[in-house]
Structure 1
Amino acid sequence: MPPSLPPPSSLPALLSPTVPAAWLAALPDVVAAGLSSGWPWLFTLAEWLIRLVMLVYVPQRRAPAAARTWLLLIFFLPWLGLLLYALFGRIYYPKSRRLKLARINQGIERVRGPLERFAPVQPLPAGVSADAAGLIERLGSYWPMRGNAVELMDDYGAVVARMIADIDGAARQVHLLVYIYAADATARAFTDALLRAAARGVQCRLLVDALGARAGWRAFAQTLRHGGVEVVQALPMRSLSAVLKGKSARFDLRNHRKILVVDGSIGYIGSQNVIDAESTPGLPNEELVARVTGPVVTQLQAVFLADRYLETGETGEAAQTERGGFVAGNFPPPQAAGAHTAQMLPSGPGYGTQNAQMALVSMIHRARARVVITTPYFVPDEAFLQALQLACYRGVAVHLVLSRRIDQRFTQAAQEAYFGVLLDAGVHIHLYKPAFLHAKHVTIDDEVAMVGSTNMDIRSFALNAEAALVIYDHAVVARMREIQARYFRDSAQVDRAAWQRRPLRRRTWQNLCRLADSLL
Structure 2
Amino acid sequence: MLILWKLLIDRSPGSFNVTLHLIISISVIAISCKLFFENRNPQSTLSWLLLLAVTPTFGVILYLLFGRLKTRRKKLIRHSMFKIPQNNIVKSDNRITLSSKSSKLSSIIEKLTGAPVDQNTDATLLINGDEMFSKLKESLLNAKHSIYIQYYIFRTDTIGNEILDILRMKANDGIDVRLIIDGLGSKSFKKKIFRTLSDFGVKVAKFDPITTWSFGTINYRNHRKIVVIDGINGFTGGLNVGDEYLGRSKLGFWRDTHLLIEGNAVKDLENIFLQDWYYSTLYDSDETIKNILNNDSKKTNPINEQVSKINFTGAVQIIGSGPDTKEPTMRNAFHSLLTIAEDSIWIATPYFVPDQEILTILKLKALSGVDVRIIYPGKSDSILSDSASQSYFAPLLESGVKIYKYKKNFLHAKVILIDNEIASVGTANLDIRSLHLNYELTTFLYDSNVVKQVNQSFINDFSVSTQIIFSEFKERSLFKKFIESLTRLFSPLL
TM over 0.5: yes
Amino acid at match of 1:239: T
Q: Residue 494 of structure 1 is aligned with which of 460, 468, 472?
A: 468
Worse overlay, 115-124 or 70-79: 115-124
Matches within 5 A, 1:121-270: 121-127=95-101, 129-218=102-191, 220-240=193-213, 243=215, 249-270=216-237
Residue 36 of structure 2 corresponds to which residue in structure 1?
59
2:99–2:447 Cα contact (<8 Å) kept: no
2:251–2:379 Cα contact (<8 Å) kept: no
TM superposition shift of 1:326:
5.7
TM superposition shift of 1:300:
1.1
Amino acid at match of 1:399: R
Q: Residue 84 of structure 1 is aligned with which of 45, 50, 62?
A: 62
- 1:1-23 per-position Cα deviation (integer Å, ceiling 9, x unaligned): x945xxxxxxxxxxxxxxxxxxx
Residue 283 of structure 1 corresponds to which residue in structure 2?
252
- 1:408-448 per-position Cα deviation (integer Å, ceiling 9, x unaligned): 11111110111111111111111102531111111111221
Q: Determine helix, strand or coil for the equivalent of 1:187.
A: helix
Q: Determine helix, strand or coil for the equivalent of 2:189.
A: helix
Change (3 A) 1:99 1:217: farther
Q: Distance in 1 between matches of 2:7 and 2:41?
A: 33
Amino acid at match of 2:425: V
Change (3 A) 1:457 1:100: farther
1:120–1:146 Cα contact (<8 Å) kept: no
Residue 481 of structure 2 corresponds to which residue in structure 1?
507
Q: Determine helix, strand or coil for the equivalent of 1:175.
A: strand
Residue 329 of structure 1 corresponds to which residue in structure 2?
295
Worse overlay, 474-483 or 399-408: 474-483
- 1:217-240 per-position Cα deviation (integer Å, ceiling 9, x unaligned): 446322211111111111122323
Worse overlay, 478-487 or 138-147: 138-147
Say whether residues 1:102 and 2:71 are aligned partners: no
Amino acid at match of 2:273: F
1:294–1:338 Cα contact (<8 Å) kept: no
Worse overlay, 213-222 or 496-505: 213-222
Say whether residues 1:73 and 2:51 are aligned partners: yes
Matches within 5 A, 1:419-458: 419-458=393-432
TM superposition shift of 1:318:
3.0
Residue 295 of structure 1 corresponds to which residue in structure 2?
264
Amino acid at match of 1:131: K
2:239–2:257 Cα contact (<8 Å) kept: yes
Q: Percent identity?
A: 27
Matches within 5 A, 1:309-458: 309-314=278-283, 318=287, 320=289, 327=293, 329-330=295-296, 332-333=299-300, 334-335=303-304, 336=307, 337-340=310-313, 341-458=315-432
TM superposition shift of 1:188:
0.7
Amino acid at match of 2:320: P
1:342–1:471 Cα contact (<8 Å) kept: yes
Q: Determine helix, strand or coil for the equivalent of 1:353.
A: coil
Q: Determine helix, strand or coil for the equivalent of 2:36.
A: coil
Q: Distance in 1 between matches of 2:60 and 2:471?
A: 42
TM superposition shift of 1:47:
5.9
Change (3 A) 1:393 1:190: same
- 1:291-349 per-position Cα deviation (integer Å, ceiling 9, x unaligned): 1111111111111111101112337863857xxx8646358334323313101111111
Amino acid at match of 1:256: H
1:284–1:435 Cα contact (<8 Å) kept: yes
- 1:161-201 per-position Cα deviation (integer Å, ceiling 9, x unaligned): 11111111111111111111102000011011112212222
Count of paired positions: 483
Change (3 A) 1:302 1:39: closer
1:317–1:327 Cα contact (<8 Å) kept: no
Q: Distance in 2 between matches of 1:38 and 1:272?
A: 50
Q: Distance in 2 between matches of 1:205 and 1:494?
A: 45
Matches within 5 A, 1:14-53: 29=7, 35-37=13-15, 50-53=27-30
Amino acid at match of 1:468: T
2:323–2:439 Cα contact (<8 Å) kept: yes
Amino acid at match of 2:418: I
Change (3 A) 1:450 1:120: farther
Amino acid at match of 1:67: T
Q: Distance in 2 between matches of 1:112 and 1:383?
A: 37
Q: Distance in 2 between matches of 1:365 and 1:31?
A: 62
Question: Normalising by the residue count of structure 1, what TM-score does the alignment of the two structures yield?
Answer: 0.86
Q: Determine helix, strand or coil for the equivalent of 2:197.
A: helix
Amino acid at match of 1:59: F
Q: Distance in 1 between matches of 2:9 and 2:162?
A: 53
Query: What runs of 5+ residues in structure 1 fail to find an aligned partner?
Result: 5-25, 244-248
TM superposition shift of 1:153:
1.1
1:446–1:474 Cα contact (<8 Å) kept: no
Q: Determine helix, strand or coil for the equivalent of 2:428.
A: coil
- 1:118-140 per-position Cα deviation (integer Å, ceiling 9, x unaligned): 5982553223x223212322333
Q: Distance in 2 between matches of 1:384 and 1:120?
A: 37
Q: Determine helix, strand or coil for the equivalent of 2:250.
A: coil
- 1:487-511 per-position Cα deviation (integer Å, ceiling 9, x unaligned): 1011111110000010000010011
